[in-house]
């Protein structure tokens, strides 16, 4: 597993280990309070092969092994939003550990939206699959470190960030400064709302560590990266650095999004992630089946 450490910067600063899922370009996080060794997992990926529709739990198992090796106590299983590009592993982690899991409360609205897309009324019940549905401004503790929840829409209508001490886990909003920002064209997305979310993140202290949800490298940088600071994003972000305004950003983002195909896991992922990472209920033969809408989405024109 490719991983990198981000040590704490002093009292009230968490230790962070980011680990990378190469097939989806996803950054996942193990974060803990050094004083109490209480830990959280954020946006852990459930391995999925789109060709065979088979699943594994390699990344989650690696994370649990790291928790044991480092003598940590897992207290939270957190997701920032129902991901479109990978299957989450919240349900399996909760099954293995008995630890509480959480996501933002607007997952209820996302579930309603996707029940219509899949034509599966009543299929999703986030209140049953998550122990906590956080609202904007909610606070809780990770050991002795306060955690603040911030609603950051645009990529989805219900994405949240977790600000844990001096570390902000900002999911699919920013990407690395040399890349820019995340797409805003999924159902419920909005480039205007994404701009507001980006500005909200940039209002945090300049030395705040910013941990993102995805990195795919660039033509100049092959090794994945996922950490920057608010100051670096303000100065150098390819889409908003240097004070780019709303209208200019929206044109950059909307023009770029019009060229992007759907993630190859999206139609599988949402029906799993809106169940907290559970596969669809087994049918009479004991087998789970995915339901994929035909001709619901169009590929971008060449």
Q: Between these two residues, 297 and 162, which has the higher pLDDT value?
A: 162
Residue 282 falls inside a structural domain: no
User: Mean of the per-residue pLDDT values for the chain?
Assistant: 96
Give the model's pLDDT for residue 301. 67
User: For the residues of 193-221, what is the DSSP string, one character each?
Assistant: HHHHHHHHHHTS-TT-EEEESB----SS-
Find the mean pLDDT for residues 141-170.
Answer: 97
Residues 6+ apart with CB under 8 A from 169: 29, 31, 42, 43, 80, 161, 162, 163, 211
Find the mean pLDDT for residues 68-79.
Answer: 98
Residue 193 belongs to a domain with what CATH number? Answer: 3.60.15.10
Residue 219 pLDDT class (50, 70, 90 cuts): confident
In the chain, what percentage of residues exceed pLDDT 90?
A: 96
**Residue with tokens 């050991």, as numbered in its chain:** 143
Residue 288 falls inside a structural domain: no
In the chain, what percentage of residues exceed pLDDT 70?
A: 99
With H, G, I as helix, E, B as strand and everything else as coil, classify residue 161: strand
Give the model's pLDDT for residue 298. 82
Torsion of CA 116, 118, 119, 122, to 10 degrees: -80
**pLDDT tens digit sequence for 35-69:** 999 999 999 999 999 999 999 999 999 999 999 99
Residue 146 falls inside a structural domain: yes
Give the model's pLDDT for residue 182. 97
Rounded distance between C-alpha atoms, residue 125 and residue 276, angstroms: 9
Give the model's pLDDT for residue 302. 58
* Structural domain range at position 120: 3-273
**pLDDT tens digit sequence for 264-285:** 999 999 999 999 999 999 999 9
Find the mean pLDDT for residues 203-232.
Answer: 96
Residue 150 falls inside a structural domain: yes
Q: How many CB atoms lie within 10 A of CB 280?
A: 16
Number of domains in the chain: 1
Q: Is the dihedral of CA 152, 271, 1, 238 positive or negative?
A: negative
Residue 220 falls inside a structural domain: yes
Give the model's pLDDT for residue 230. 98
| DSSP label of 261 | P
pTM: 0.96
Residue 80 pLDDT class (50, 70, 90 cuts): very high
Residue 286 falls inside a structural domain: no
Residue 295 falls inside a structural domain: no
Rounded distance between C-alpha atoms, residue 176 and residue 228, angstroms: 7
Q: How many CB atoms lie within 10 A of CB 100?
A: 14
Do the bridges between strand 45-49 and strand 139-142 make them parallel or antiparallel, or are there none, so unpaired? unpaired
Q: Are 264 and 25 in contact (CB under 8 A)?
A: no
Residue 9 pLDDT class (50, 70, 90 cuts): very high
Residue 194 falls inside a structural domain: yes
Q: Is the dihedral of CA 261, 169, 98, 57 positive or negative?
A: positive
């Amino acid at each position: 597993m490719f991983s990198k450490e981000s040590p704490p910067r002093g009292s009230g600063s968490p230790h962070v280990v980011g680990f990378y899922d190469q097939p989806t370009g996803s950054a996942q996080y193990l974060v803990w309070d050094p004083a109490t060794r209480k830990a959280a997992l954020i946006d852990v990926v459930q391995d999925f092969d789109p060709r065979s529709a088979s699943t594994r739990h390699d990344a989650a198992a690696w994370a649990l092994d790291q928790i044991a090796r480092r003598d940590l106590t897992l207290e939270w299983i957190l997701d920032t939003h129902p991901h479109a590009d990978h299957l989450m592993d919240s349900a399996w982690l909760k099954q293995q550990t008995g630890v509480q899991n959480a996501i933002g409360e607007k997952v209820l609205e996302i579930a309603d939206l996707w029940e219509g897309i899949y034509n599966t009324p009543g299929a999703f019940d986030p209140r049953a699959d998550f122990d906590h549905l956080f609202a904007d401004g909610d606070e809780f503790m990770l050991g002795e470190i306060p955690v603040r929840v911030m609603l950051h829409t645009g990529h989805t209508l219900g994405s949240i960030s977790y600000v844990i001490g001096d570390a902000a886990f900002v999911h699919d909003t920013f990407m690395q400064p040399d890349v820019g920002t995340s797409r805003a064209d999924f159902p419920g997305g909005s480039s205007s709302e994404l701009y507001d979310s980006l500005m909200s993140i940039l209002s945090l202290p300049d030395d705040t560590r910013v941990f993102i949800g995805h990195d795919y490298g660039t033509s100049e940088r092959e090794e994945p990266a996922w950490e920057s600071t608010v100051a670096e994003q303000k100065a150098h972000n390819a889409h908003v650095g240097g004070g780019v305004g709303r209208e200019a950003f929206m044109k950059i983002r909307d023009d770029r999004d019009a060229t992007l195909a759907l993630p190859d896991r999206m139609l599988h992922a949402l029906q799993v992630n809106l169940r907290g990472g559970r596969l669809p209920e087994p049918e009479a033969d004991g087998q789970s089946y995915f339901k994929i809408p035909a001709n619901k989405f169009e590929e971008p024109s060449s």
